[in-house]
Structure 1
Amino acid sequence: MAMASTYAPCGAEALAPGRAKVRAPVGFLGLGPSKAGLPRPLAATKRPAAGPAPAASSPRLRCSAASSSSARPVTAPRFIQHKKEAFWFYRFLSIVYDHVINPGHWTEDMRDDALEPADLYSRHLKVVDVGGGTGFTTLGIVKHVDPENVTLLDQSPHQLEKAKQKEALKGVTIMEGDAEDLPFPTDTFDRYVSAGSIEYWPDPQRGIKEAYRVLRMGGVACLIGPVYPTFWLSRFFADMWMLFPKEEEYIEWFTKAGFKDVKLKRIGPKWYRGVRRHGLIMGCSVTGVKRERGDSPLQLGPKAEDVSKPVNPITFFFRFLMGTICAAYYVLVPIYMWIKDQIVPKGKPI
């Protein structure tokens, strides 16, 4: 596999109730390439990690807790994270998504690496790909699972039209739906996959709770998403654009939803050489196992965001415009990192 990756296990015993602290996570802040130019590995787990064995001084991912609210504050700036803005954003982005966006943030090697923890070991597994968009991640799933056993769901009909045009996805059930309110019975699927979708969920905890509900006992959820940047300019654009969770937040959301054996695997384009300070739109793959039948034990209130309510057109336009500007920054970042990879001698940090 082209990219080095690491796993970080964490369970309920390592977390107190509530959200991760606002401070940058231990083992993440300042995480960059080692002297060899590879990512510094996290704590060892039962799964073998790619790359050299961890040194004694390597940082270990720790889970921390603070307030009791799992949802992002309503007052937090979210210019494009709102579902309604995202709907129109992808109305235009769907035209170039596979050919312009994916090559910089979500390559085939990254996809295969990120899906490995989902343990797609049988062609007969029943799998749902939530927020699957144009079906790029679904193409990785049908390498291992018969298309007739796969369901692709997304809120964007424009993205789904692109998915329907892909020959390899013929036989896949393709449908519109909301990640925070899945239209499936409890205990339906063997595997739940979601890649590049959580950043648009107003309440990630609700979406992960839904992942737990629709899985059968013994089923595995695999959620692939961004990581929060530590570089000040990247952090500014991340906060303005959409949700970039911290690693501890992912683990906490999974644990509170009821998942066991929660693990986090870091992924990234090979030309980043492990550098994560700018944030990665596809930066980690988090998995958890459902050990009991039925719904999640977590109780939540009403949805944080109702897309059926009317929106002030001026507010909508401003958020859409600002979100598009911030998105452009994150199109330039991988180009910048690719150029540095070409210029800086191999084996040296970038």
Structure 2
Amino acid sequence: MASTYGPGGGAKLRCAASSSAAAPARPVKAPRFIQHKKEAFWFYRFISVAYDNVFNPGHFTENMRDDALEPADLYSSHLKVVDVGGGTGFTTLGIVKHVDPENVTLLDQSPHQLEKARQKVALKGVTIMEGDAEDLPFPTDTFDRYVSAGSIEYWPDPQRGIKEAYRVLKFGGTACVIGPVYPTFWLSRFFADMWMLFPQEEEYIEWFKKAGFKDVKLKRIGPKWYRGVRRHGLIIGCSVTGVKRERGDSSLELGPKAEDVSKPVNPITFLFRFLIGTICAAYYVLVPIYMWIKDKIVPKGMPI
């Protein structure tokens, strides 16, 4: 495995990596109780109130965000950038450090999250709109950069979302997808499987390559208090980039969408899925607290 380690111990993987060698392969279509779009819509209806100040800090700090965006190569203020699944605009705030807000589009399916984004002064000038990551409302060859952070775990069909990233990028454009990594510890693996999609690093690389991306690279990121430990999985654990080397849409052929949000859902089934998913989410609220305490107790230099 070829890899190089940068600041903070992050690794840029130039071929299929193995963060989860000890973990069995995890089917993308395995049951996930809150990963589906309708449950996620209502989940964020409630947590949007405290998302930036309570839920996000344990999993995606400002330093992590800036580290994860570095491979996106936001070198010019004139780049045209789309932030897909941008929610409250936390990642967008990192983008507008480098790119003029007028050149940035923030898209998310949650109006409640987007309302929080609209309240941020630094995002004034950013185009903020509702939309579906698997069916982007933009013409082919539109953007110089595609960014998506903390969204892929809710996509019923990750390959379709990454194919859409390829489509909307211009020739020479770069896609940067920031998302979870799969746990190796059995209990964390159980809650991850029940909750939402925690891909293995190899899966990210495969999705990018199948969509047509070239120069695919993966960079590991994580909270500094984890000391590089990934056995519990990370809700934000890697930054994957690829470059579009041809104009037009991807040649990859896909079938119908995995989830049709227009279809009615049994309310009892919905409530059950939502409650179980929320319990799983609570576990992953406690994990970073547990790791932070271990970091404080266990002497530096010793494994945790």
> Per the shorter chain, which TM-score range?
over 0.9
Residue 184 of structure 1 aligns with an amino acid whose one-letter code is F
Instruction: Give the Cα–Cα distance (whole angstroms) in 1 for the partners of residues 167 and 276 of structure 2.
Output: 35
User: What's the counterpart of residue 185 of structure 2?
Assistant: 231
| Deviation for aligned residue 1:211 | 0.1
Q: Does 1:327 align with 2:281?
A: yes
Instruction: Give the Cα–Cα distance (whole angstroms) in 1 for the partners of residues 7 and 251 of structure 2.
Output: 39
| Deviation for aligned residue 1:78 | 1.1
Instruction: Give the Cα–Cα distance (whole angstroms) in 2 for the partners of residues 154 and 4 of structure 1.
Output: 31
Cα contact 2:182–2:198 (8 A) shared by 1: yes
The 5 Å alignment of 1:190-339 reads 190-339=144-293
Q: Does 1:151 align with 2:105?
A: yes
* CA deviation profile, 1:243-279 (whole Å, cap 9, x unmatched): 0000000000000000000000000000000000000
Instruction: Give the Cα–Cα distance (whole angstroms) in 2 for the partners of residues 193 and 262 of structure 1.
Output: 14
1:104 aligns with one of 54, 58, 65:
58
Q: Does 1:4 align with 2:3?
A: no
RMSD between superposed Cα atoms in Å: 1.6
Question: 1:3 is paired with a residue of what secondary structure?
Answer: helix
Structure 2 residue runs of 5 or longer lacking an equivalent are 1-5
| Deviation for aligned residue 1:117 | 0.1
Residue 84 of structure 1 aligns with an amino acid whose one-letter code is K
1:72 aligns with one of 17, 24, 28:
28
| Deviation for aligned residue 1:71 | 8.2
Aligned length: 298
Q: Does 1:133 align with 2:87?
A: yes
Question: 1:101 is paired with a residue of what secondary structure?
Answer: helix
Cα contact 1:71–1:205 (8 A) shared by 2: no
1:181 aligns with one of 135, 154, 165:
135
Cα contact 1:3–1:109 (8 A) shared by 2: no
Name the one with the larger helix percent.
2
Residue 148 of structure 1 aligns with an amino acid whose one-letter code is E
| Deviation for aligned residue 1:29 | 2.9
Instruction: Give the Cα–Cα distance (whole angstroms) in 1 for the partners of residues 274 and 210 of structure 2.
Output: 32
Structure 1 residue runs of 5 or longer lacking an equivalent are 15-24, 32-65
Cα contact 2:180–2:233 (8 A) shared by 1: yes
* CA deviation profile, 1:31-59 (whole Å, cap 9, x unmatched): 9xxxxxxxxxxxxxxxxxxxxxxxxxxxx
Instruction: Give the Cα–Cα distance (whole angstroms) in 1 for the partners of residues 78 and 41 of structure 2.
Output: 33
Q: 1:195 to 1:26 in 2, by over 3 A?
A: closer
1:83 aligns with one of 37, 45, 58:
37
Cα contact 2:18–2:202 (8 A) shared by 1: no
